[in-house]
Amino acid sequence: MCLYATDNLRGWTGLHLAEEVSARYGVECKVENDAICALKGELRFYPDLTDVTMLTFGTGVGGASLVNGEILRGRNFDAARWGHVSLYPNGRACSCGRRGCAEAYLSASAILTHTRRKLPVKNGEELFELYKKGTKEAVGAVMSFASDLNLFLSMIRTALSPQLILLGGGLMNAREEIEKLIHDRLDIAFARLGNRAGIYGAAFGL
């Protein structure tokens, strides 16, 4: 059962998701965190690694971490809810009810909300196209995103020292531009399965 859902999934609080899907489609259904599914999908390419963090940047910011060969779950899973770690104490309001969360700065929704105050962009793809053209407002928005992303990656390195940090989700379709803005790229890789990593991770077996 979904115990609590933010506005990203409005109306989901109290929803018995597996039961709903099973009843609708007549198949057995299991429920898993989407970032964990994405991590499982990508780990097929890194069978020898034991410490990997997966980050997904889309409507929100998701995260999952493999530590000593085990995916963090249960009480330890709070340590992998990367979208809701505090980047800036008393910063922007987040959909979770707290302030300053990574999601409030690094999700596509947050970036577009704040960019549209100065520039009427439709989506992340258009924003990065304008950035490449040198549009002032787009450059400012992307550079602010890059600063926050580098801070975020530094926090994860400090907390877990993963062998690899994987970046996925729809926002990472702008990989060519984003990769150039990351200060330390030695432990960074982009999801090979792209925005479909979670689908493959679920298909590989829950």
**Per-residue pLDDT at 75 exceeds 80:** no
Q: How far is 111 from 127, CA to CA, in rounded Å? A: 9
Strand partners, 1: none
- Measured in degrees and rounded to the nearest 5, phi and psi for residue 52 equal -135, 135
Looking at residue 151, its pLDDT comes to 97
Strands (E), the chain: 52-57, 61-67, 70-71, 164-168, 188-190
pLDDT value of position 108 = 93
Q: pLDDT class for 195, splitting at 50, 70, 90?
A: confident
Give the mean model confidence (pLDDT) for residues 173-181.
95
- For the purposes of burial, counting CB atoms within 10 Å of the CB of 94, is it exposed (0-12), middle (13-18) or buried (19 or more)? buried
Structure tokens at 179: 């990769």
Max Cα–Cα distance, the chain, nearest Å: 52
pTM: 0.88
Predicted confidence (pLDDT) per residue in 116-125, tens digit? 999 999 999 9
pLDDT of residue 1 exceeding 90, the answer is no
Mean pLDDT computed over every residue of the chain: 92
Q: For residue 10, what pLDDT band results from cuts at 50, 70 and 90?
A: confident
pLDDT recorded at residue 74: 67
Q: What is the pLDDT at residue 204?
A: 83
- Quick: pLDDT tens for 78-114: 555 899 999 999 999 998 889 999 999 999 999 999 9
User: What tokens were used for 123?
Assistant: 């989506």
Residues forming beta bridges with residue 52, ordered by sequence position: 66, 164
Q: Give the integer Cα–Cα distance in Å for 191 and 6.
A: 26
The pLDDT score that the predictor gives to residue 161 is 94
pLDDT for 150-159, tens place per residue?
999 999 999 9
pLDDT at 99: 94
- The pLDDT of 49-71, averaged and rounded, is 94
DSSP state letter for 86: B
| pLDDT value of position 36 | 93
Percent of the chain scoring above 90 in pLDDT: 80
Q: Using a CB cutoff of 8 Å and minimum separation of 24, what contacts does 114-117 make?
A: 114/141, 115/141
Say whether 101 sits in a helix, a strand or coil: strand
User: Which CATH superfamily is 33-203 part of?
Assistant: ATPase, nucleotide binding domain (3.30.420.40)
Nearest to 16 by CA among 29, 34, 27: 29
Q: Which residues contact 205 (CB under 8 A, 6 or more apart)?
A: none
Check: CB of residue 59 under 8 Å from CB of residue 108: yes
Domain boundaries, the chain: 1-31, 33-203
Q: In the structure, what pLDDT confidence band is assigned to residue 77 with cuts at 50, 70 and 90?
A: low
